[in-house]
């Protein structure tokens, strides 16, 4: 027997990914095997930030209008809608809550797409 | 009997699963972040277990019962808070790869002096939150088995600490996931029973021009001394002490103010107007169901209150250390984001069900308006909505859910506190972690006994306000703004944390009791969050010492994991 078989550490793929990630800090100018170009990274940060802020405003602006609606259109406080439920209970309850879930789902898809496009461009260079 | 058994079952499950985790709990990584290998969906169950706390399970139905539709702003604020976690926090915080929030802030801003400062903010805000859970524990055990309030507080404090020091994060992830199912079921079952009663038209209308009255003859226990306003002379049966007189028998209670001693029982007749604790608004059904109007909310400024509450609860969620720390257990940043989407998808229906419980509480358990103990509404309601065996079963499900709610959240909070205390103050390691767990739990039990008379959501309000105006701006600015500096961060934590704490203490001391001063001090996050952001930004711009190596740090937070897979390992 010439050379001894090399020792190998066997990890669950998820654990391996997590460990590799933690170790990323140790490589001087590299993060996750990518040589850091500050402007390039900040470009990615900017597009994510733009997406997040836009989606937040999409929720916040209509929601912030509601107290004003109740304040200046008194009939909106008591009007009954589906199943004789008063409008405020419907809007401040299920309607707004589920709309927020929808926005989060859109964000999860868009944010991942931004990351994928960014990573694709790096690996094709 | 059945409800008590159900609670015992949840407790036994908690201990069994927590100790099952001991097998794996050897390394620091295991203890603090469950080796970062938790499946996104299971982690979402665990986050839900933490997020569905005594504050929502017991507190929100109670708030809605008392104040009506305006309290839905709490739920909207929390849900937008979870959206903010998706949009701004979850993935970058995970990708940076630390064990605790203080460590993350130190690493991002190169400020070793920031670490104890942020750790202090984490510990103080988690501590108030933990007190609220312990209070829930005391209330529920008293309601169920009639033991004194402190028994539940001590039992839960010790149980959770023992579980955590045995199994660490790994064990608790499993426990919280299971607890989530009990919590959800505990709200879903009464929701469906009430919903079917409502649809079949068996329930009297809630939206009437009258204030609440007893539907049927009701026996009410008064666990604490309370001053109530009786609105019409009522023939009652009393066993105990009222207005300094020992009474055992029938009495005509005249309208006006009365002091009811702790331990008294009063039977109120059907149709009698419900007496109110002094200081609570006596709303008619119509006022209760309509937003704004003449209410004492926000010191008599319900419009301001709506915005203040929205803002406070929104920023409160992103800064809750026990929630943020759970994202560290995900394998990747993308998994952290997916976890949070699952959380939203489960928590939105849960929140959407709570208003019906609050409304039903006003019909079936209106006496809590006059016992000084509104937090027991959910549990009392659980005992009232059905008769016979099915009634016992509904009550069992509700009680088990309540127990799971405060147990899982208390575990999460204790992890966050012990993590900050051991990793950022005492030095990382499993023995330090165990020590920190017992210290944090001991202090909280002692304080938990003292806060018996404080409403759960008042405690939660303080906790979220302090976290929202110190840790919240710190996280958002660190992750998204390259110009944020060490001094800016110090100013943010100090100004945000101290002004809110001062506001909380002023309110607590009762120095203001009405009008705009009360509105401003009782909901401090409305101004303290923008203030903390403004201070952080201004100081950073003026600070000549910028943070170095920004490209590297932002790459760590924002680069997808896929780059690592695509590029060769160096």
Give the three-class secondary structure for B222. strand
What pTM did the predictor assign? 0.89
Residues near B550 by Cβ (< 8 Å), separated by ≥ 6?
Answer: A38, B482
The answer to whether residues B186 and B222 belong to one domain is no
Could you report the per-residue pLDDT of A87-108, keeping only the tens digit for each?
999 999 999 999 999 999 999 9
User: B373: closest CA among B240, B226, B258, B211?
Assistant: B226
* Residue B465 included in any domain: no
The answer to whether residues B7 and B154 belong to one domain is yes
A97 and B352 within 8 Å at the Cβ level: the answer is yes
Q: What is the CATH number of the domain that holds B357?
A: 1.20.1730.10
Could you report the per-residue pLDDT of B440-490, keeping only the tens digit for each?
888 888 888 887 777 777 788 888 888 889 999 999 999 999 999 999 999
Bridge partners, residue B236, by sequence = B251
**Where does B110-242 have alpha helices with state H?**
114-145, 149-199
The domain tally of chain B equals 2
Q: Out of B456, B474, B489, pick the residue that ends a domain.
A: B456
* Residue B150 included in any domain: yes
Task: Specify whether the CB–CB gap between A78 and B286 falls below 8 A.
Answer: yes
Mean pLDDT of chain A: 81
The answer to whether residues B247 and B363 belong to one domain is no
Whole-number Å distance between alpha carbons of B293 and B302:
7
* Residue B348 included in any domain: yes
Alpha carbon B554 to chain centroid, angstroms: 32
Residue of A nearest to B305 (CA): A67
pLDDT of residue A30: 63
Indicate if the pLDDT at residue B25 is higher than 70.
no
Instruction: Give the nearest partner residue to A97 out of B79, B88, B569, using CB atoms.
Output: B79
Tokens linked to B179: 């607890």
CA distance to partner chain B, nearest, from residue A68 (Å): 8
The answer to whether residues B337 and B439 belong to one domain is yes
Residue holding tokens 């002379």? Answer: B233
B566 and A52 within 8 Å at the Cβ level: the answer is no
Indicate if the pLDDT at residue A55 is higher than 90.
yes
3-state secondary structure B337-395: HHHHHHHHHHHHHHHHHHHHHHHHHHHHCHHHHHCCCHHHHHHHHHHHCCCHHHHHHHH
Mean pLDDT of chain B: 86
Indicate if the pLDDT at residue A51 is higher than 80.
yes
B37 and A41 within 8 Å at the Cβ level: the answer is no
Whole-number Å distance between alpha carbons of B204 and B287:
17
Domain that holds residue B355: 2-13+40-201+317-456
A119 and B86 within 8 Å at the Cβ level: the answer is no
CA distance to partner chain B, nearest, from residue A82 (Å): 12
User: A60: closest CA among B72, B310, B62, B395?
Assistant: B310
* Residue B137 included in any domain: yes
Task: Specify whether the CB–CB gap between B128 and B466 falls below 8 A.
Answer: yes
Could you report the per-residue pLDDT of B74-83, keeping only the tens digit for each?
999 999 999 9
Residues near B481 by Cβ (< 8 Å), separated by ≥ 6?
Answer: B537, B540
pLDDT of residue A26: 40
Q: Out of B397, B426, B456, pick the residue that ends a domain.
A: B456
Q: Out of B456, B478, B501, pick the residue that ends a domain.
A: B456
The answer to whether residues B177 and B246 belong to one domain is no
- Helices B114-145 and B486-508: angle between axes, nearest 10 degrees: 30
* Residue B64 included in any domain: yes
Taking one residue from A and the other from B, the number of pairs with CB-CB distance under 8 angstroms is 195
* Residue B310 included in any domain: no
Q: Which of B563, B568, B570 is the best mutation test for A, with the most CBs of A within 10 A?
A: B563
Helix (H) or strand (E) holding B260: strand B256-260
pLDDT of residue B570: 36
The answer to whether residues B146 and B247 belong to one domain is no
The answer to whether residues B399 and B336 belong to one domain is yes
Whole-number Å distance between alpha carbons of B13 and B25:
18
pLDDT of residue B90: 92
CA distance to partner chain B, nearest, from residue A4 (Å): 24
The answer to whether residues B343 and B446 belong to one domain is yes
Residues near B200 by Cβ (< 8 Å), separated by ≥ 6?
Answer: none
Could you report the per-residue pLDDT of B228-276, keeping only the tens digit for each?
999 999 999 999 999 988 989 888 889 999 999 988 999 999 989 999 9
pLDDT of residue B78: 93
Taking the CB of residue B393, how many other CB atoms lie within 10 A of it? 16
């Amino acid at each position: 027997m010439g050379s001894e078989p090399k020792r190998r550490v066997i990890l669950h793929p998820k654990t391996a990914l997590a460990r590799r990630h933690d170790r990323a800090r140790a490589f001087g100018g590299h993060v996750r095997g990518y040589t850091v170009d500050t402007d390039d990274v900040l470009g990615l940060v900017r597009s994510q930030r733009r997406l997040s802020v836009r989606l937040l405003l999409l929720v916040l602006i209509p929601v912030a209008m509601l107290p004003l609606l109740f304040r200046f259109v008194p009939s909106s406080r008591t009007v009954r809608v589906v199943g004789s439920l008063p409008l405020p209970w419907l809007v401040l309850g299920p309607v707004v809550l589920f709309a927020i879930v929808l926005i989060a789902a859109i964000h999860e898809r868009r944010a991942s797409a931004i990351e994928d496009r960014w990573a694709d461009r790096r690996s094709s260079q | 009997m059945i409800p008590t058994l159900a609670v015992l079952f949840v407790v036994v499950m908690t201990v069994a699963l927590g100790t099952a985790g001991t097998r794996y709990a050897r390394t620091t990584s295991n203890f603090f972040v469950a080796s970062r290998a938790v499946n996104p969906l299971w982690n979402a169950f665990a986050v839900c277990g933490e997020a569905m706390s005594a504050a929502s399970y017991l507190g929100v139905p109670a708030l809605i019962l008392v104040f009506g539709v305006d309290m839905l702003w709490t739920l909207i604020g929390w849900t937008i808070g979870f959206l903010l976690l998706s949009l701004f926090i979850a993935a970058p915080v995970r990708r940076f790869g630390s064990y605790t929030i203080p460590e993350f802030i130190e690493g991002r801003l190169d400020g070793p002096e920031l670490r104890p400062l942020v750790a202090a903010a984490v510990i103080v805000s988690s501590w108030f939150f933990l007190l609220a859970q312990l209070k829930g524990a005391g209330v529920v055990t008293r309601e169920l088995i009639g033991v004194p309030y402190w028994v539940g507080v001590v039992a839960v404090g010790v149980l959770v600490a023992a579980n955590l020091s045995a199994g660490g994060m790994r064990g608790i992830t499993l426990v919280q996931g299971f607890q989530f199912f009990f919590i959800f079921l505990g709200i879903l079952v009464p929701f469906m029973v009430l919903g079917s009663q409502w649809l079949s038209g068996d329930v009297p209308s809630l939206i009437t021009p009258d204030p609440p009255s007893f539907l049927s003859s009701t026996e009410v226990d008064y666990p604490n001394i309370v001053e109530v306003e009786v609105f019409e002379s009522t023939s009652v049966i009393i066993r105990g002490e009222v207005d300094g007189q020992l009474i055992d028998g029938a009495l005509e209670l005249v309208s006006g103010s009365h002091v009811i001693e702790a331990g008294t029982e009063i039977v109120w007749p059907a149709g009698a107007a419900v007496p109110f604790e002094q200081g609570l608004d006596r709303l008619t059904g119509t006022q209760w169901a309509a937003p704004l109007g003449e209410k004492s909310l926000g010191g008599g400024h319900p419009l301001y209150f709506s915005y203040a509450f929205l803002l406070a609860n929104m920023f409160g969620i992103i800064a809750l250390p026990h929630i943020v720390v759970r994202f560290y257990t995900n394998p990747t940043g993308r998994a952290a984001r997916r976890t949070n989407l699952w959380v939203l998808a489960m928590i939105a229906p849960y929140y959407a069900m709570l208003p019906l419980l609050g409304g039903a509480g006003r019909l079936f358990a209106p006496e809590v308006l006059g016992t000084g103990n509104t937090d027991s509404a959910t549990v009392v309601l659980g005992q009232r909505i059905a008769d016979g065996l099915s009634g016992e079963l509904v009550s069992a499900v509700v009680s088990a859910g309540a127990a799971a709610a405060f147990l899982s959240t208390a575990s999460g909070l204790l992890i966050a506190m012990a993590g900050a205390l051991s990793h950022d103050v005492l030095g990382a390691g499993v023995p330090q972690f165990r020590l920190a767990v017992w210290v944090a739990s001991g202090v909280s039990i002692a304080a938990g006994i003292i806060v018996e008379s404080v409403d759960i959501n008042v405690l939660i309000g303080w906790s979220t306000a302090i976290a929202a105006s110190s840790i919240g701006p710190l996280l958002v600015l660190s992750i998204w703004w390259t110009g944020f500096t060490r001094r800016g961060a110090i100013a943010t934590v100090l100004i945000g944390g101290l002004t809110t704490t001062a506001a909380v203490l002023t309110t607590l001391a009762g120095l203001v009791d009405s009008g705009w001063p009360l509105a401003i001090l009782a909901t401090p996050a409305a101004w303290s969050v923008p203030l903390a952001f403004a201070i952080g930004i201004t100081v950073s711009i003026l600070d000549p010492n910028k943070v170095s190596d920004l490209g590297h740090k932002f790459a760590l937070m924002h680069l997808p994991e896929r780059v690592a897979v695509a590029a060769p390992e160096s």
